[in-house]
Amino acid sequence: MSAIDDLAGELSKLPGIGRKTALRLTYFLLKQRPEQSRRLADALTTLAERVRPCAECFNLTEEERCSVCRDQRRDRGVICAVEEASDIGAIERTGEYRGLYHVLGGRLSPLDGVMPEDLTIDRLIARVRGGEVREVILATNPSLEGEATALYVQRQLSGQADGVAVTRIARGLPVGGDLEYADGVTIAQALSARREM
């Protein structure tokens, strides 16, 4: 296999990149100055060698523990459990949350063979048993599988530590969305999660 085929083959394994795009990217890189390709290669190597899961919460980090876990100003009494490390960025951007995280590493998906033991649920239970935690917020996606995962985690946590509240993020209409264009399921959920004003 030639070097061109090698790179195109690797690129086409990336999400959203087909064979044609992979070849186009490969020829684009060939036309650039060699330093450009070297910088890309270095960045990829660094990524693979340095980035790893946080020993405490499984967020991605280049240290032993991630920047959130190391931040002494964060509230160590609250843990927000998410499916993927990429979900943390979305919550951090709001600037509203000051607690810690726990990355479950996916969601229950029996059709893909993803069972509870494939997620980091045991580690979450161990953290909660540690004694410092007052609340666990389950922030898995509001999908069929995300809901089942939240329910599973909630049931595993109940009875593990007294006085720990387990909460679920609310589902509902997106802000800036138009009621007219929301789908029926979302409207029904928003209605059932309504609150007094």
Instruction: State the residues that interact with other proteins by CB under 8 A.
Output: 108-111, 115-117, 144-145, 147-149, 151-152, 155-156, 183-185, 188
> How many other C-beta atoms are found inside a 10 Å radius of the C-beta of residue 58?
22
Q: Could you say which of Zn ion, other proteins, none residue 169 binds, taking C-beta under 5 to 8 angstroms by partner kind? A: none
Cα–Cα distances (Å) from 121 to 29, 96, 102, 103, 125, in that order, read: 42, 25, 9, 9, 6
CA distance 137 to 167: 5
Binding site for Zn ion (CB under 5 A): 54, 56-57, 59, 66, 69
CA distance 71 to 68: 5
**Of 26 and 97, CB closest to Zn ion:** 97
Q: How far is the CB of 19 from other proteins (least distance, A)?
A: 12
Question: What are residue 75's phi and psi, to 5 degrees?
Answer: -75, 110
Q: Could you say which of other proteins, Zn ion, none residue 57 binds, taking C-beta under 5 to 8 angstroms by partner kind? A: Zn ion
Q: How far is the CB of 107 from other proteins (least distance, A)?
A: 11
One-letter amino acid identity for 79?
I
Q: Could you say which of Zn ion, other proteins, none residue 152 binds, taking C-beta under 5 to 8 angstroms by partner kind? A: other proteins
Q: Could you say which of Zn ion, other proteins, none residue 55 binds, taking C-beta under 5 to 8 angstroms by partner kind? A: none
Cα–Cα distances (Å) from 147 to 63, 83, 132, in that order, read: 32, 11, 26
Q: Could you say which of other proteins, Zn ion, none residue 148 binds, taking C-beta under 5 to 8 angstroms by partner kind? A: other proteins
**Of 52 and 134, CB closest to Zn ion:** 52
**Of 52 and 167, CB closest to other proteins:** 167
Joined tokens for residue 140: 């898995």
Q: How far is the CB of 54 from Zn ion (least distance, A)?
A: 3
Query: What does the angle CA 184 – CA 189 – CA 193 come to, to the nearest 5 degrees?
Result: 150
Q: How far is the CB of 59 from Zn ion (least distance, A)?
A: 4
